[in-house]
Structure 1
Amino acid sequence: MSGHFIVYGAVGSGSVPIEAALALAGIPYVVKDFAPWTSAEEAEALSILNPMRQVPALALPSGQVMTESAAILIWLSDAFPDSGLAPPAGDPRRAEFLRWMTFVSSAIYALYWITDNPARVTDDTAQHAAINARLYERIADCWAVMDKGLTPGRYLLGDSLSILDLYVATASRWSPGRRRFYEVAPGLADAIRRTDAEPRLQTLWAERFPFSEGWER
């Protein structure tokens, strides 16, 4: 594959694990930032790439555009198997890898469409705080389910860092926050702290999802 990939995303968003995967695999890419939540104009501009008006999106060197973070990450791991970022087909860990990548996407990530803007489900602003509180507890419950279902090694799927680690390391920083994640998923904590500390990612983390003071909340 030749040419550059273009990641459409934003600081601290679901584009970060995609950027991290590309960086770890040594694949050239450029980033174009979009923040569709900031204005109708920004959302409309993004709709040309993604009718859902959401980031991330990934433009392939061929010009094809992919959306959906889990799909992009799985595709990258399959397109660049030498990166070692996912168990290949036939590996006993492959089923577990696909299970939890999909779980994070559908059971956890999808809920942020509501928590980012509760008006999407009700115009009653008096209910917004309660809706978010319930959803954050649901997210915590889902992390607890993952904690019970996985037996990590140094990383979530064993002794090698994978895109599942990148995905969880990013999503677990969103509300209800990493401190709550550690409380409900203590068995996953060391693997994710190890991902935070990965030397090859320190520049990217600093630029795209900084560990600012009090970040663990």
Structure 2
Amino acid sequence: MPPLTLYGAEASGSVAVEAALTLLGLPYRLVEGATWAEPEARERVAPVNAMRQIPTLVLASGEVMTESAAILIYLADGHAEPRLAPALDDPRRAAFLRWMLYVSSAIYALHWIKPDVTRIGVPPSARDAVVAAVHDRIAFCWAHMDRQLTPGRFLLGESLTVLDLYVATVSRFGPWRPRFTEVAPGMAAVVRRVDEDPRLAALWAARFP
């Protein structure tokens, strides 16, 4: 049995983790289930993550990791080849940590509202307006990030990192790629390059059908 177990679902944040595991050549067992839509999926992950959310990664030791950004940083830092994160003494390290946490907190976290807008104290009848506002905020955040970065071949220069995988995944969520491309043209060029990476082509096709 593979030493890693990943609870995830297609078209979700777990795909970024799957992409990292693929590039690192690490075997894993995938437990499929969209926890935001399927009660059965929430119950499957509940024994290891009381929040009943994905991605959840169970390590060989049995230790549980949650939070997509934390998982990606952990995986990248734990493997020198291929290097998927700037080293601790790399001048790009500060920017790497900044933007990994920014994507997680300022953008990805907003999607938690959309399946059930009563979570923020508004009635279900307001869902369309709330989702539209969430998408506007996400577009604003992508635009802000784009203005702060000067990408090379990838977001932090010439080397692919898990930040590229994270943005390539989360930019596929609402308000979706056309608007992402409009508000973040610099990052959009990088994301297209990540989409076309032959090492990941089969994964993207399978997990974002």
Relative to the length of structure 2, the TM-score reads 0.95
Give 1:168 deviation, angstroms: 0.3
Is 1:131 matched up with 2:113?
A: no
Runs (4+) of structure 1 exceeding 4 A deviation are: none
Summarize the alignment of residues 38-57 of structure 1 with structure 2, pairs less than 5 Å apart. Answer: 38-57=37-56
Summarize the alignment of residues 70-89 of structure 1 with structure 2, pairs less than 5 Å apart. Answer: 70-89=69-88
Summarize the alignment of residues 51-130 of structure 1 with structure 2, pairs less than 5 Å apart. Answer: 51-122=50-121, 124-130=123-129
Summarize the alignment of residues 187-198 of structure 1 with structure 2, pairs less than 5 Å apart. Answer: 187-198=186-197
> After alignment, is 15-24 or 3-12 more displaced?
3-12
CA distance in 2, matches of 1:111, 1:37: 13
Helix, strand or coil: the match of 1:80?
A: coil
Helix, strand or coil: the match of 2:113?
A: helix
> After alignment, is 34-43 or 76-85 more displaced?
34-43
CA distance in 1, matches of 2:159, 2:40: 42
CA distance in 1, matches of 2:2, 2:18: 16
- Name the aligned partner's letter for residue 19 of structure 1: E
Render the CA deviation track for 1:62-115: whole Å, top value 9, x for unaligned: 111100000000000111122211101000000000000000000001001101
What percentage of aligned pairs have identical amino acids? 55
Relative to the length of structure 1, the TM-score reads 0.92
Instruction: Give me the CA root mean square deviation.
Output: 1.4
Structure 2 spans left out of the alignment, 5+ residues: none
Summarize the alignment of residues 150-165 of structure 1 with structure 2, pairs less than 5 Å apart. Answer: 150-165=149-164
**What is the match of residue 183 of structure 1?**
182
CA distance in 2, matches of 1:81, 1:193: 25
CA distance in 1, matches of 2:61, 2:161: 25
- Name the aligned partner's letter for residue 128 of structure 1: R
| Aligned partners of 2:65 and 2:71 also within 8 Å | yes
- Name the aligned partner's letter for residue 103 of structure 1: Y
- The size of the alignment, in residue pairs, is 209
Helix, strand or coil: the match of 1:8?
A: strand
**What is the match of residue 15 of structure 1?**
14
CA distance in 2, matches of 1:13, 1:4: 22
| Aligned partners of 2:56 and 2:67 also within 8 Å | yes
